[in-house]
Amino acid sequence: MMTHRAWEALIASSAVNLGQSGGVRLIASPLTQTAGASGFLAELAKGMTYVLLGEFEPERLLRTIETHRVTHLFLPPAGVRLLLTHPQVHRYDHSSLRSLVYGGAPIAPETVLEAMDVFGPVMATGFAQTETGGPVTYLSQEDHAMARDANELQLLSSCGRETLLARVEIMGDDGELLECGAEGEIVVRSSHLMEGYYRGAQSGADENKRINGWHCTGDVGRKDANGFVYIVDRKRDMIISRGYNVFPTEIEKVLEAQPGVLGCAVVGVPHDTMGEVVKAVIEVATGMTIDPKTLRQACRERLAAAKVPVSIEIWPRLPRNSAGKVLRRQVRQVFWHGRERKI
């Protein structure tokens, strides 16, 4: 439940990130999700024109950018990768773009750099939940350019710094705020948070509780000395293997940086002696082939041994939601089906 005052605060905060007034927004994702609703209202207040694409199709989207001189666009990482791998991506003129915001799922820094080479210095991202109304952090186009020019690629793994009307911190299991660099749950205070779940609905309520006035996001992250926030993963998606806590997102970023990988889901699967082990399920881009052994070698070169997938499986298509985000939990259910315990 969002109050009218919360929406006003969100529109004001988001308008700061948008910068200059006017422009053309291409809507290629559902308006019912946070990226659609919060961005739509803020941009409407800034006098933006809208072009609704409907169903996502890479070449149609590229053609629409050229035809309507689109300035603003939001895509999930899977959509960005589909554009970059499309054979006609360089055929169309996308010089009108001022902002290409990506989010909702992990993305490899190498993919972001490739997108900057293709589309220009227009990439931006942030962190938002339905419960926060909209973005509470923002990694701007200027931040992206700074990371590239200074060769600080780690910054491209960040979701940015606090937005104007939000405070974002890291909290330990004891409810105390943690120092810079420590990993814990990302918590938020803002005037554009939800009031609660409608009629006390429990969907997600256990994960999105309030502690000492802080909204608990259910995401694990850290914050550096310059205020940049890094998302590690969802608390509920953590894999416990061989006594180590393993977060899938770190592994997925390595795998998605490999040529031909359109998407992936890393999950814990049952093991008779170790409880669960790390497994990766891969969706391959059209016209490409991938050797799972090559992917495992890439993981061994970049990750600790406990994080290297024990096995890699290739599926023709990964389950995704309407925004293109891979549904990791549905992948996990395939391997735990019929078992009394799910961990």
What pLDDT sits at residue 46? 84
> Which residues, other chains included, contact 90 with Cβ-Cβ below 8 Å and sequence gap of 6+?
118
* CATH number for the domain formed by residue range(s) 4-159: 3.40.50.980
Q: Is the pTM of this model over 0.75?
A: yes
CA distance 43 to 302: 40
* CATH number for the domain formed by residue range(s) 238-336: 3.30.300.30
| Residue 104 pLDDT grade (very low, low, confident, very high; cuts 50, 70, 90) | confident
Kindly state the tokens that stand for 293: 């052994």
117-133 residue pLDDT tens: 999 999 999 999 888 98
239-285 residue pLDDT tens: 877 667 888 988 999 999 999 999 999 999 988 767 789 999 999 98
Cβ atoms 231, 37 nearer than 8 A:
no
Cβ atoms 219, 234 nearer than 8 A:
yes
CA distance 265 to 322: 17
Percent of the chain with pLDDT over 70: 92
> Whose structure tokens read 């905060």?
13
- Residue-averaged pLDDT of the chain: 88
CA distance 19 to 28: 21
Kindly state the tokens that stand for 182: 């420590």
Kindly state the tokens that stand for 235: 């608390």
Domains 166-235 and 238-336 equal at CATH topology level: no
Kindly state the tokens that stand for 125: 């991202």
**Domain extents for the chain?**
4-159, 166-235, 238-336
Which CATH number fits the domain 166-235, given the four candidates 3.40.50.1100, 3.40.50.1110, 2.30.38.10, 3.30.450.30? 2.30.38.10
| Residue 205 pLDDT grade (very low, low, confident, very high; cuts 50, 70, 90) | very low
